[in-house]
């Protein structure tokens, strides 16, 4: 039996959802990743970013727990942070937003903004930071449209692969 077929059967046997409620994602981020909810004004710098979907941001989070971050970062990501630290600039004349970006590039924290088109289900996210592990998780939590859920569809194949790599199936 084909590997994708096995993943497909596991996906259906586990009855995993195709979409996730904002409240479900909120609980997962807060408990699994110790994310702290931040006010939308804390990400106001995204207002002019056309890719952020600023008007549809329903929740914003900051993950800055050192132990959680340590477990989220790959060896390659940690090495990149070390390289970034070698090129630090004096932050005394930086704006708060510039300081935040510097700290994000040093791996000191991650920001996540969850978007929703309907106010109930997650439709997307904006991610500030680097974490392959967390990006995979967020891509899963964004869900998948029913029209793609068929063996052989490349979008569905990628989604099943994300579920497998993240330990869902």
Do 51 and 118 lie in a common domain? yes
- Give the range of the structural domain holding residue 25, as residue numbers without chain letter: 21-143
Tokens of 42: 């804390």
Distance in angstroms (rounded) separating the CA atoms of residues 6 and 9: 5
Tokens of 3: 């590997």
Q: How many domains does the chain have?
A: 2
Specify whether the CB–CB gap between 159 and 148 falls below 8 A: yes
Do 32 and 6 lie in a common domain? no
The mean pLDDT value for 68-76 works out to 96
Do 86 and 99 lie in a common domain? yes
Do 10 and 86 lie in a common domain? no
pTM of the model: 0.88
Do 91 and 117 lie in a common domain? yes
pLDDT tens-digit profile of 12-41?
999 999 999 999 999 999 999 999 999 877
Do 51 and 133 lie in a common domain? yes
Structure letter (DSSP) for residue 18: S
């Amino acid at each position: 039996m084909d590997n994708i077929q096995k993943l497909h059967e596991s996906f259906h046997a586990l009855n995993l959802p195709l979409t996730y409620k904002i409240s479900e994602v909120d609980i997962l981020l807060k408990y699994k990743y110790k994310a702290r909810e931040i006010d939308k004004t804390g990400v106001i710098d995204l207002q002019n970013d056309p890719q952020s979907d600023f008007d549809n941001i329903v929740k914003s989070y900051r993950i800055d727990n050192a132990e959680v971050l340590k477990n989220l970062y790959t060896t390659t990501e940690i090495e990149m942070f070390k390289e970034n630290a070698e090129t630090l600039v004096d932050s005394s004349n930086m704006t708060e937003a510039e300081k935040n970006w510097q700290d994000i590039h040093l791996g000191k924290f991650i920001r996540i903004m969850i978007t929703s088109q309907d106010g109930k289900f997650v439709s997307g996210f904006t991610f500030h930071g680097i974490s392959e592990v967390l990006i995979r998780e967020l891509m899963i939590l964004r869900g998948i449209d029913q029209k793609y859920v068929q063996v052989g569809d490349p979008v569905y194949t990628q989604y099943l692969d994300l579920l497998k790599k993240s330990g869902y199936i």
